[in-house]
Amino acid sequence: MTEYLDHPTAEDIALPAVLTALGDETRLAIIAILARNGEKAMTCGQFLQLGSKTAISYHVAKLREAGIIHVRPDGTRRLLTLRRDDLEHRFPGFLDSVVTSAVAMQTPEVLDYPAAPEIARGM
């Protein structure tokens, strides 16, 4: 049976929690990379250029708990996507502003990290 991960409902996403979660450079980098990847889900392993597995798991949990990303268990993997629609409904225009700033802060090495082969294989 697939494990369920708790996410706040769209109505329960609180701006203070979102702002707190986005107050970290690593989490902003994760948001920038997810945004660059569009609607395709990414795995936690695709963010290892930003830190250790433990650190990435921690940052992903903070983003999930704040309602910024959705994490779906898929076997031993966790598939990550931005909660664009929920955040746009709750705070119109906010995510676009955050993504624009987050992308501008990242180095090309971070944004162009070779995650594409992993995406192509469906990992």
Render 14-76 in DSSP notation, one character per residue.
-HHHHHHHTSSHHHHHHHHHHHHTTT--EEGGGGGGGS-HHHHHHHHHHHHHHTSEEEEEETT
What pLDDT score does 111 carry? 67
Cα distance between residue 14 and residue 113, in whole Å = 31
What mean pLDDT is predicted for residues 42-60? 93
For residue 112, pLDDT beyond 70: no
**Cα(54)–Cα(8) distance, integer angstroms:** 23
Positive/negative CA dihedral, 95, 45, 25, 57? positive
In this predicted structure, which of 42-51, 91-100, 105-114 has the lowest mean pLDDT?
A: 105-114
pLDDT of residue 118 exceeding 50: no
DSSP string, 103-116: HHHS-HHHHT-S-H
pLDDT interval class at 5 (50, 70, 90): confident
Note the pLDDT tens digit of each residue in 20-49.
Answer: 999 999 999 999 999 988 889 999 889 998
Calculate the average pLDDT of the chain.
Answer: 86
Sheet holding 77-82, edge to edge: 42-43, 77-82, 69-74
pLDDT over 60 at 14, yes or no: yes
With beta carbons less than 8 A apart as the criterion, state whether 88 and 95 touch. yes
